[in-house]
Amino acid sequence: MARHLITSAIPYINGIKHLGNLVGSQLPADLYARYQRARGQEVLFLCATDEHGTPAELAAAKAGKPVAEYCAEMHEVQARIAEGFRLSFDHFGRSSSDRNHALTQHFAGRLAETGLIREVSETQMYSHADGRFLPDRYIEGTCPNCGFDSARGDQCDNCTKQLDPVDLINPHSTISGSTDLEMRETKHLYLCQSKMKDELEEWIDTRDGWPVLTTSIAKKWLNDGDGLQDRGITRDLDWGIPVKKGNEDWPGMEGKVFYVWFDAPIEYIACSQEWVDAGKGADWERWWRTDKGADDVTYTQFMGKDNVPFHTLGFPATILGSGEPWKLVDYIKSFNYLNYEGGQFSTSRGRGVFMDQALEILPADYWRWWLLSHAPESSDAEFTWENFQASVNKDLADVLGNFVSRVTKFCRSKFGEEVPESGSYGPQEEALIADLEARLAAYETQMEAMEVRKASQELRALWVAGNEYLQSAAPWAAFKEDPERAAAIVRLSLNLIRFYAAVSSPFIPDASAQMAQAFGLETVDWPKAPLSEALSTLPAGHTFAVPENLFRKVTDEETADWQERYSGTR
């Protein structure tokens, strides 16, 4: 049995995420976790809420609540929404946990001991209007490299160049909009990433088969301009993990907290400790410590492309720099952006569909199918209501749903609600089984490779093969001349529904459960070769219930209404 450690980028606490956030990390990670579990592998799938930093403070202030209370409430909201989308986390933790406090302070102490942290007196942007030092991300201006007018103080999203606030042209506070800024002296800790450039580059070069998107971003940060730069890992904030060396105070760092991008990835490890604390599992070290058995673990991370630099450089620098035997990521599956109807999702303008709104419109499987089958892997993708309607209606309703409905209703009308006994399979059935075996192998190959779109195409091809067989074999016509032949066709088709329940479960778990439950089954094992056995699993006389329509069609009127409702113009 293989062991798979799977993490998705942890969503930030300040508000409900949109569909682009979902498909960029959590949803494909869930797809992969469900697939590996279905194949009988041991899986630990972890996620959490990212709760520190200025955005949390500002969001709490806007909500009129203490920041700790706000974060606790939003964690529960995000957990409920994740459950609504059937995200099968083994644990959904919190970066503000005691475990993450202790582990972050531990890593900081180890890095200090290995000479990879230096103390820097520097000047930082102070906003008179806001009465505070401004974190890099809360300063915007024009990028000196490409001229983009909304570059942040840490990075330009247009050209991805690393920046410092003083590099920006005409900087302003994104909190108040004030340009009344001045540089004030403060003292901070820096992680000496530059000392680890060669080791990080060598490590990245040993990662087998990483997506081009992942490696290209990592290499750009390693070699762009002056190369990999040291990064500040502390901030002048009230909310966060206090700066300590393990359990010891850090002289000169009183009142400061660790930078959110330093502590957030460490939460992946802390989350496994929380998993044990919650009584959901045991022995977290066998997943994370190579001296405790983690050598045989395959660790896969899922994230949007904006998170790649921190997971290919910053977090590995922390792990490697500690000098301790921690498990490093084996594969990073990164995604481009999902855009909305010709533009970007926007919380402030109400533009686009957010996760809670999506579940109010339609059940999770509709969204899971469209998002995964249109995952932004090789380039940015575009959500349009027209495409969503077409995909749902053609793939889910017309192909899969129609097959299940036609087979079960025809069987009920001619043979009753049980698998027919008479009739034997012939050349047509043998050809179908051989075709399905080849297609299943192709589907499994794409799932193992985490090629999400290609996997969805192979799954759809499995559904289509059943429809084409049913249309060609035409049991309704055969029944008039040869009822036994019709019985054989129906028996195989009912077994196909059971087969579809198994192979569709990573993509559309609710519909898969509904198909299984129609035959009184709680779960359906993943099919194994030869498929002739898997497609004969339901014995003659096995009873079933005709399920409700798996998927309804989306109407033109609904599409027009949703397009208007979420356009950001209301």
Confirm or deny that 71 is annotated as ligand binding: no
Confirm or deny that 411 is annotated as ligand binding: no
Please give the pLDDT value at position 166.
86
Domains and CATH numbers, the chain: 393-534 (1.10.730.10)
Please give the pLDDT value at position 155.
87
Contact status, residue 322 vs residue 289, Cβ threshold 8 Å: no
Full-model pTM: 0.92
Please give the pLDDT value at position 496.
97
Q: Among candidates 527, 369, 521, which has minimal Cα distance to 433? A: 527
What is the layout of strands, in order, in the sheet containing 181-191?
132-133, 117-127, 181-191, 231-232
Confirm or deny that 156 is annotated as ligand binding: yes
Confirm or deny that 159 is annotated as ligand binding: yes
Q: How many Å is the maximal CA-CA distance in the chain?
A: 92
Kindly write down the DSSP assignment for every residue of 214-277, as one continuous string: HHHHHHHHHHSTT-SPPEE-EES-SSSPBPEETTEE-TT-TT-EE-HHHHHHHHHHHHHHHHHH
Please give the pLDDT value at position 570.
54
Please give the pLDDT value at position 423.
80
- Beta-bridged to residue 139, according to DSSP, are 173
3-state secondary structure 478-491: HHHHCHHHHHHHHH
What is the Cα 392 distance to its own chain's centre? 21
Contact status, residue 87 vs residue 509, Cβ threshold 8 Å: no
Predicted confidence pLDDT, tens digits, the chain (570 residues): 899 999 999 999 998 999 999 999 999 999 999 999 999 999 999 999 999 998 898 899 889 999 999 999 999 999 999 999 999 999 999 999 999 999 999 999 999 999 999 999 988 889 999 888 887 878 999 999 999 999 999 889 888 888 888 899 999 998 899 999 998 999 999 999 999 999 999 999 998 889 999 999 999 999 876 778 999 999 988 899 999 999 999 999 999 999 999 999 999 999 999 999 999 999 999 999 999 999 999 999 999 999 999 999 999 999 999 999 999 999 999 999 999 999 999 887 889 999 999 999 999 999 999 999 999 999 999 999 999 999 999 999 999 999 999 999 999 999 999 999 878 889 999 999 999 999 999 999 999 999 999 999 999 999 999 999 999 999 999 999 999 999 999 999 999 999 999 999 999 999 999 999 999 999 999 999 889 988 999 999 999 999 988 999 999 999 999 999 999 875
Neighbouring CB atoms inside 10 A of 197's CB total 16
Q: What is the pLDDT of residues 229-278, one digit of tens each?
A: 999 999 988 899 999 999 999 999 999 999 999 999 999 999 999 999 99
- The set of residues, in sequence order, having a beta carbon less than 8 Å from that of 423 and lying 6+ positions away, is 484, 485, 486, 487, 488, 489, 491
Confirm or deny that 143 is annotated as ligand binding: yes
Neighbouring CB atoms inside 10 A of 131's CB total 8
Query: Which phi-psi region, left, alpha or beta, contains residue 383 (left: φ > 0; alpha: ψ -120 to 50)?
Result: beta
Q: What is the pLDDT of residues 334-363, one digit of tens each?
A: 999 999 999 999 887 889 999 999 999 999
Q: How far apart are CA 160 and CA 309, in angstroms?
A: 10
3-state secondary structure 402-419: HHHHHHHHHHHHHHCCEC
